[in-house]
Amino acid sequence: MKLITRCMVGLVLLSLSGPALAYQEMTVSDGGTITGTVKLDGLVPKPKGYNLTTLPDQFYCGRISDGQGWRILQPFQVGVAGEFREVVVYLEGIEKGKPFEEESVPQIEARDCLFLPFTTVVRDDQSVTVVNMDPVMHDIQAYETSHLGARVLFNVPLPMNPEHPRNFKDRSDVGLYHKHMAGPPMKQLVNLSKGRRIFVMQCGFHAYMESWGIAVNNPYFAKTDEQGRFTITNVPPGTYKLVVWHPYVRTPVEQTITMRPKETMETTLMVPAPTGRLYANEVLVHDYVRYNVTEEAQKEIDPMIQKQIR
């Protein structure tokens, strides 16, 4: 799947194996529980690197950087034991079962020039809310993509809270400003084309701000936590496909499971680490001068919140 390289907020959709039947909500009296761990098997892929001196708001956004003027985006959040975080696990093949949770609109925040969370689960034809917590402007551009190319879902400015100061005296003022206040929420409909399930959201000003989403057709899904753990409850008896999704893992990772009445099942899902170059702006081992940006200019950007490691 090809990621649009500008700073956008977007969604990328996967092909379905066949026509989806409408999910039927019902009371599940003998449902079981699936718990498990997702692990990345192999070396963690290299992150992305963005030269902050070539993008707007470098001093504010550079509060998270490597100390040499680069902002690092690592799409693979992996613990020391391989625990794979922020990965979506979901069941396919369930035509009826427990109700979706009461209608709530997923929210994505722009905070410290990041889109959080990195992965979001939505229902198709459901809205998402995007909120700017930063004292700088952002621009959300949401896309679905397929082998036919990208399609725009929405493209709107993301204004900041009017209480934020707008005229900082110098770069130290903007770098030392740490308040987060919500700007006007932008509620946008995620309406995916038939046969697509994934979307990507990026910022039109800051290319390192990136968030991905997947649309589900049943409520049997979970995201892995800091330990790579997940739990899916109240699963009706039957045989289903347990699927792992991460936007940069192109190899299908799935497991056929058979759930018996009121059973508690434990499983471990191993995700082969992708190899090769995953993105055009992969961080480099050695620095290089680009766009005539001097080393002195890069060193002016001070990582006051977090000094990133490549």
**DSSP string covering 53-77, please?**
GGSSSHHHHTTEE-SSSEEEE-S--
Q: Which stretches does DSSP call E strand in 145-263?
A: 151-158, 186-190, 198-203, 210-216, 221-223, 229-235, 238-245, 253-259
Mean pLDDT, rounded, for 261-273: 97
Q: Write the pLDDT tens digit of every residue in 171-207.
A: 777 778 889 999 999 998 888 877 788 899 999 999 9
Q: List, in order, residues 6 or more apart from 27 with CB less than 8 Å away.
A: none
Mean pLDDT, rounded, for 250-259: 94
Across 52-56, 90-94, 295-299, least confident range = 295-299
Looking at residue 151, its pLDDT comes to 86
Percent of the chain exceeding pLDDT 90 equals: 65
Q: Confidence band (pLDDT; 50, 70, 90) for 149?
A: confident
Q: Confidence band (pLDDT; 50, 70, 90) for 288?
A: low
User: What is residue 173's three-state secondary structure?
Assistant: helix
CATH of the domain at 145: 2.60.40.420
83 inside domain: yes
Q: Confidence band (pLDDT; 50, 70, 90) for 3?
A: very low
Looking at residue 68, its pLDDT comes to 87
In angstroms, the CA 300 to CA 88 distance is: 38
Mean pLDDT, rounded, for 284-301: 70
In angstroms, the CA 104 to CA 127 distance is: 9
Range of the domain at 220: 24-293
Looking at residue 9, its pLDDT comes to 42
- Decide if pLDDT at 55 tops 60: yes
Mean pLDDT, rounded, for 19-30: 82
Pairing of the two strands 24-25 and 238-245:
unpaired
Mean pLDDT, rounded, for 22-48: 95
Quote the mean pLDDT of the chain. Answer: 87
Looking at residue 167, its pLDDT comes to 76
Looking at residue 6, its pLDDT comes to 41
Looking at residue 19, its pLDDT comes to 43
Across 81-95, 155-169, 271-285, 294-308, least confident range = 294-308
DSSP-assigned beta bridge partners for residue 13: none
User: pTM for the complete prediction?
Assistant: 0.87
Number of domains in the chain: 1
- Decide if pLDDT at 308 tops 80: yes
Neighbours of 188 (CB within 10 A): 20
DSSP 8-state class, residue 184: -
226 inside domain: yes
Omega before residue 117 within 30° of 0, cis = yes
The helix/strand count (H/E) of the chain reads as: 3, 22
Neighbours of 227 (CB within 10 A): 13
310 inside domain: no
